[in-house]
Amino acid sequence: TGTTGLRALVTSMSKRRPLESRRLQDRDFAILEHLMTYRVTTRDVLHRLFFSDSDPNAVSKVTTRLNEGGFLTRHELIGSSVYFTLGQAGARMMGAPARSVEALGAQTLFTQIGILEFCCGAVQRRNRLSVSLLVKQHPEIMQKGADATRYVRDGSVTPSVLYVVRVDGGGPNDHVIRKIRNDLDVRIKNPLINSLIQSRRFGVACITYSEQKKSELDFRIQKEGFPCAVIVEVALILRDLQARFL
């Protein structure tokens, strides 16, 4: 009968589906997709994005299950806190390179955490744009000498704004301003980005580690005469990361 045929089809599809993926729920897949975009995540961010109506313990239960199944890998962050990358099973399922499961070096971790906080902090309508998405939908934005992994679309404003994110690694203010200038100099040659600058839909977001550093950078930025908006935001977790690395 038709019902019997439908059951057979569902059973056949289930058999073809990888065993590891059959153990996952929709929210689990969403977490893995989130990691594909941001490379790292934390319990706080996961709670904010996927468990806002649940107790924080719910995050720990899910991440523990995914870690034990090889979908996530847990790494030391600060004190007893941790950050997550894809695990071997998660990387295999998502088609990510094997290195995705490894702990990040100090500088890379600092940058990835800064971008994560900028996108997934209090303002949750910011989305990091993956390189694969840019290549597919906006190949004209790809250019030699311009890191394409740091673009973020801010949908919290209308019209939306495209930012390139610069994470302050603790250098002198002159160094940070010079890096921001370099970010702009190489990109302003791109016709698409230049057009966005002219329509005030492109900017630089500098993520720093303290309110004092933000005030200092804001003061300097006002004097620089940049051709587009340059905003500075604080991610306090970066201050704690600096202390760990030192």
pLDDT for the residue numbered 13 = 40
Paired strand residues for 208: 234
Q: Does the pLDDT value for residue 66 go beyond 60?
A: yes
pLDDT for the residue numbered 12 = 45
Confidence of residue 3 (pLDDT cuts 50, 70, 90): very low
pLDDT, mean of residues 32-59:
95
Handedness of CA 119, 122, 205, 199 (dihedral sign): positive
pLDDT digits (tens, 9 = 90+) for 97-141: 999 999 999 999 999 999 999 999 877 789 999 999 999 999 999
Question: What token pair was written down for 108?
Answer: 């890379």
Taking alpha carbons only, the member of 233, 155, 157, 148 closest to residue 192 is 148
Confidence of residue 8 (pLDDT cuts 50, 70, 90): very low
Taking alpha carbons only, the member of 11, 52, 45, 46 closest to residue 28 is 46
Question: What token pair was written down for 9?
Answer: 């089809």
pLDDT for the residue numbered 2 = 46
Q: Does the pLDDT value for residue 219 go beyond 50?
A: yes
Confidence of residue 6 (pLDDT cuts 50, 70, 90): very low
First CA to last CA across the chain, in angstroms?
70
Question: Residue 30: is it exposed, middle or buried by C-beta count within 10 angstroms (0-12/13-18/19+)?
Answer: middle
